[in-house]
Every structure is written in structure tokens, then in C-alpha cells.
Structure 1
Amino acid sequence: MQKSRIWSEIDFQKEGKATGYLRVPISTNASAYGWIPVPIASIKNGSGPRVLLIAGSHGDEWEGQIMLIKLIQSLQAQDVNGHLIILPGANAPAVEAGQRVSPLDDGNLNRSFPGDPNGTPTMMIAHFIETVLLPGCDLVCDFHSGGSSLEYLPSAVIIAAKSASQLRQRLALLRIFGLPVGFATDASTGGDRSLTGACDRHGSVPCLSTELGGGGAASRTLLRAAEDGLARVLHHIGVLNAAPKEPNPCSTQLLYRVRPNDFVYSPAKGLFEPFVNLGDTVSDGQEAGRIHFTEEPWRKPVPVHFGVGGIVLCRRFLARANLGDCLFNVGRTWTPE
């Protein structure tokens, strides 16, 4: 692939801890020769695993951003064996705007891989991650949540591997992370244009992701659980020297998320009244809620049903919904071994 046009203030080959910016070139009416700052940290100490930690691919998903900001401040080179690269606000324009996609180009970073060195800012960032940061990685951790519009049952997430050995490795990471729920999917909703797609293109690099709540908030309890889980994972693969303070607190319930075709979507524009909560068990065809019509309050509401039953993993957080908005998705009990 063509070389990236982004340049870095950091030498990723240099030993020690370094912080600075990726400089994404941009030319606008207000700044003819400007660049967009994307914060990044590199912590390198000898030989060992290379791990890429990413948050803020979607700018309104706050939990992972907070966690990685704290990690940058707390870790020093002597704490690491190998190389940690930390990108706490990957789609920096979206992060600064507090919205899912970039205000500069409407770019969704987790739908932009493999990117384009000559493309929009979001495409350039995706290309840099795939061609500069990802090669040689032994693990990628990509932290997500429901953002402003959705709320998730707090979960660790993996893509189901085709080989038995890869599946065992990914399941081990999911269990070590230690959230009460872990789920697998056939593929990211972004397909091969997601970061997991990029990982597959680089020799099936293991990618552990999360869905940490949502609704535009950040939970202290969830942050603590995710911080402890990440410490366990980094120690397990050998990149973090100190043993985690918190042992794995519980067993993880394994689910398999249904395909996007089986998500529950709004059939009309209106106000959504949910009938179930996160974590509830629902059956095939069960009524999920109703859509009410503010402009025609005398009109009967439209019922919404689950096509496929399971455990409710995700719900729409916002009451107002448009035709086609995702209202729910579910996971089914999974026994992979």
C-alpha cells in the first residue's frame, strides 16, 4: 500500500516512554497548511509482545477513552516488557465533537479500513493504523460502548475464529478480561472495513473488543472492571510486568450475538416504548415494545417484536426513533467447547 501522509512526533522504534501527536495534514479556508492532532503514546522496553490499545474510534464512546488516558499517565517504561502503543482518541475530530462520526468528513473510523492515504481525514487515520501501527502486533484491544444512541449489557467481545486454536486463544482472552458477559459474533457490523477486518488482513491478529455500557455516560463501576480486566490481559500475554491487583472475579457467561438481519429495528418514526430491559431473556416473536406517534396521538401505536429470542444485549437508549433505527439485539447461549 502507498505510504501514509500522516507523520508522527514519536519514533516507535525508540526505547522508553514517549507521548505526542500523529499529525494528519489538512488544508482549509482557516488553515492552509494545518494538521489535525491525534494523541498517541508509545511505551517500549526491550523485546516482548507488541500490543495496540485503541479507544475513541467513535467519539461519543467515553469509557475506553478515559481508561486509556489514565493508563498513559500511570505506566512507565519499566512497567512494560515489549511495546505498548496507546491511541486513546483515535478519531480525534469525532472525540472533540463528542459524536460518533467525524464532523470534518462524516467518517466512521470503524467503517473506514483499510483507509486511503490520499482520502479524507478519517480515511487517512484508518490507513495509518492499518499500515503503520498494526503490522507486527501480537494483540489489539479495541474499546467500544453503546455511545449516545445505544446501551449495552457490559460485555467483552470477540470475533469467532475459523480455527480451533484461534478460537481457544480468543476465548481465553475474553475470560481473562473477566466481565460477567462475553459474546462472539460472526463478524463486526463493519465487516472487513472494521478494525477486526484489518486484523484479519494482517495474519488474524487477535482482537479483543468491548461494549461498555453507553447512553453517553461513563460508569465508575464499569471503568474499574474494564481497567482490572485490561491489566489481567496485558499481564497474561507478558507485556505488563506487575501482577494485577484484582484476580478474575467471576466466570463469564458466553453468548453468540445474532446476525444484524435479526436485530430489532424501528418500523416507523416516533417514540419508542420498550417492554424489556438489558439482560432479560426473551422468546421468538415476543413483543419488544411499541412506537407511539407524537404528531398523531390518536393513532394506535405500532408493536415491535423480537424475531429471534435470546438474552437482550443491546437496546436503543434514545426514546425518539426513526424508521430503520436499531432498537434491540440479543445473544444466544453459546457452548463453544
Structure 2
Amino acid sequence: MMAGETRIWTPIDYNAEGKQSDCLRLPYSSDLSAYGWIPIPLVCIKNGAGPTALLVAGNHGDEYEGQIALANLARTIRPDQVAGRLIILPALNFPAVAAGRRVSPVDEGNLNRLFPGDASGSPTEMIAHYVSEILIPMADLVVDLHSGGRSLDYVASALVRPGQTPEEHASLLALMQSFAAPVSFVSDGTGGGGLMTLAAAAQLRGALALTTELGGGATLSREGLALAEAGLKRVLKDHGLLPNVAVEAAPQTRFMTVKGHSAFVYAHERGVFEPAAELGEEVESGQVAGHIHFPDLPTRDPETVVFQSSGLIAARRFPSLTNRGDCLFKLMVDLGAVPENAHHA
């Protein structure tokens, strides 16, 4: 990965007062557009001194709750309601958003596996670099709204990476309590993006970062959308960015964590997956998780898969057709003792 100087530009002045709506220009030379650029929608709302929040959705294009929630926020919030600055990108990986895909059709780039990016790399690497080197350094708070996309269904949840100090960890737990998803979990990215995610890039640059999972199956969850909108307002109010906005009271969240590779169940054969447990169910180690059937070999017995650990089912594969290596389930367990100051943002 190269640092370099970004090739992405925008007419938006991040230091200007008021509301600006335009786009980032991502240079892209194609057969039909030699000097063209790809638009990435961008809204900046600034009112005086104060903290900066970077609000992102469309990191993966087939995850919709965050895209709608941020578009609604960008449309309805007035500059006089803001104390500080909101930088809103509701469709960060715009080619993937336009195609309704997890990855970009331009370069097959999975944006949330390419941080900190490359200024001279592929289009998706260039987006990751711009976020890492230009946007995150301006931000005190980063919220990256995700869902399960077409391959997973998720319990409505928020997540953070483990804090690098006890103080940072308590602040991150408080951030999740402020968002107030039904489930809030701590994860270092095992089984997912690890250090190559937007949240990891934000943490390395000193910003508090919250990620969500708001539904899945490449459909729009009404529950997930409502949580995104209410949770965002609570977080922005608690951090002084929308000091006078009306918010719903934060319900208590269940603090949980993901404990290593044993929290995941994977397919070891290609076939049709028949789940034996449901999203949100509590399961035990050794319990049957499901069966892989083989329609092309009708006399072959199905493969039985089992849970390797106990916990709550946080995510389940959405499509029935499954390949070897696909994640079928992801489990969480209760976090245990939570610092008292984690309950206060």
C-alpha cells in the first residue's frame, strides 16, 4: 500500500460554513470516457467550532439501511442544528452501490478489505486512501453503517474494535450504549476484515469508530433503518454535534463479544444449506447447526455441521446454495463485567 497524494478531488470546502452537497470525483479512464470520473455523493454541514463526525454508508453496495438513513439525515438537518461539522457519504463505494453488489464492478474491490488504501492503486484502493488520509484525520467520531448484504442475515447490532487503552475501550463501549442497538459487541475482526477495515483505519488515526450490522439478505429492514436513524441522532447529540435534536431514550444494550475462529461455522462442501437454528437463538457447543445437501448426488447422505462453541447466533448465511468455505453462522457470547463509565457517553 502506498501513501502518496490523493488523485480524488471535490469542489466542497470542508472548512466552509453551511450545507454543501456535491461529490468526490474519482478519476477513472475507460473505453468510453478517457478523462472521466466516478461521482461519490458527499454532503458537508458545518456550523462554527466543534467536533467532526464522519458518517459513512455504502461501504458495501448491497447494504441499504445506512444508505437511506444518511440520505434522510443529510436532507433534513439544517446547519443551525449542528455544532461542529458533519461529513456524510451515504454511498461511499458508489460503483458497488449502483450495482447493488458487495464489491465494485469496476475492479472487484471490496472496500472494507482495502484500508488504508493506495493513492495510485485501483479505484477502490483510491477511495480507501482518500478516506484514510483526508477524511479520517479531520474526524473525532466515525460511524460506518453496515448490514449483512446478500450473503448474511444479522441481528440488529453495533460493534467496535477493542480499545487500545482502558480509557479508549470504555469510550467505545459508551459509544455503543449511546447508539443502543439490541446487541453491541466487541470484535477484532477475526473472520472478517481485521486491520483492513474503515474502523481499523479510524482507530489507528485516533478517532472513535462505531460500525453497525442492521439486517441482511440485500433487503431493507424497517427495524434496521429505524435503529440507524434513532441511534445516529443519539450518538450525535451525546457527542455535542446535534445538541438540541430530539432523540428517543436509549434502551439498554446487551454487551457481547466474538471469541476467535470457533465462533464461526463454515461449510466444508458445496451444496444446499439447511439450517437447524435461527438468527438470535442461543446454542450450545456440539449442537447440530445444519446440513449440507447434495441434489446432484441424491443417494449421498447430507453433511452435518455442528457449532464449535456456545453463544447467541449473531449472523446466519442467507442464500441456501453454499460453497466450501462459506460462513454459515457467527456466534457471540456475553462480554461480562462492563466498566461503569461505559454506560455514560
Q: TM-score, normalised by structure 1?
A: 0.97
1:74-93 → structure 2 map (5 Å cutoff): 74-93=76-95
Other-structure match for 1:226? 228
User: Is 1:33 aligned to residue 35 of structure 2?
Assistant: yes
By how many angstroms is 1:307 displaced? 0.7
* Change over 3 Å in CA distance of 1:166–1:336 after alignment to 2: farther
**Aligned counterpart, 2:197:** 194
State the Cα deviation string for residues 96-152 of structure 1 (Å, max 9, x = none): 000000000000110111111111110111111111111031100000010011000
**Residues in 1 aligned to 2:228 and 2:146: alpha-carbon distance in whole angstroms:** 11
Shift of 1:160: 1.5
Q: Which one of 215, 218, 231 corresponds to residue 216 of structure 1?
A: 218
Provide the rounded CA distance (Å) in 2 between the counterparts of 1:111 and 1:245. 34
The residue that corresponds to 1:257 in the other structure is 258
Divergent runs of 4+, >6 A: none
Which of 7-16 and 321-330 deviates more?
7-16
Q: Deviations over 1:219-270 (max 9, x none)?
A: 222211221111011000000132333111x211111113245410001000
Query: What does 1:50-69 align with in structure 2 at a 5 Å threshold?
Result: 50-69=52-71
Structure-2 residue corresponding to 1:173? 175
Q: How big is the shift at 1:206?
A: 0.8
How far apart are the structure 2 equivalents of 1:289 and 1:324?
Answer: 15
Give percent identity, aligned residues only. Answer: 46
Cα distance change of structure 1 residues 149 and 268 upon mapping to structure 2, 3 Å threshold:
same
| Residue 164 (structure 1) shift | 1.3
258-267 or 268-277, which deviates more: 258-267
In structure 1, the partner of 2:324 is 323
For 1:190 and 1:132, the matched residues in 2 are separated by 21
Pairing of 1:298-309 with structure 2 (within 5 A): 298-309=299-310
One-letter amino acid of the counterpart of residue 198, structure 1? A
1:3-152 aligned at under 5 Å gives the runs: 3-152=5-154
Change (3 A) 1:187 1:322: closer
The answer to whether the 8 A contact 1:258-1:329 is kept is no
Given that 2:262 and 2:308 are in contact with CA atoms closer than 8 Å, whether structure 1 keeps it comes out as no
Determine helix, strand or coil for the equivalent of 1:313: strand
* Greater displacement, 170-179 / 318-327: 170-179
Residue equivalent to 1:311: 312
Shift in Å, 1:68: 0.4
Counterpart CA distance in 2 for 1:243 and 1:122 is: 35
Q: Which residue of 1 aligns with 2:341?
A: none
Which whole-Å CA distance do the structure 1 matches of 2:271 and 2:199 have between them? Answer: 34
How far apart are residue 162 of structure 1 and its match? 3.0
Q: Work out the CA distance in 2 between the residues paired with 1:173 and 1:197.
A: 16
Report deviation, 1:69.
0.7
The two structures, once aligned, show a CA RMSD in angstroms of 1.1
| Preserved CA contact (<8 Å) 2:117 2:129 | yes
The 2-side partners of 1:260 and 1:227 are apart by 32
Would you say how many aligned residue pairs link Structure 1 and Structure 2?
Answer: 335
Which residue identity does 2:221 align to in structure 1?
A: S
Residue 111 of structure 2 aligns with an amino acid whose one-letter code is L
Aligned to 1:283: 284
Three-state SS of the structure 1 residue aligned to 2:234 is: helix
Task: Output one character per residue of 1:32-82: Cα deviation in whole Å (capped at 9) or x when no partner.
Answer: 110000000000110001110000010001110010011110011111000
Mapped contact 2:262–2:309 kept (Cα < 8 A)? no
Question: Following TM superposition, by how much is the alpha carbon of 1:168 offset from its aligned partner in structure 2, in angstroms?
Answer: 1.1
The 1-side partners of 2:10 and 2:299 are apart by 59
Partner secondary structure for residue 127 of structure 1: helix
Output the CA distance in 2 between the equivalents of 1:314 and 1:277.
Answer: 9
Gaps of 5+ in 2: 339-345
Answer yes or no: is the 8 Å Cα contact 2:62–2:96 preserved in 1. yes
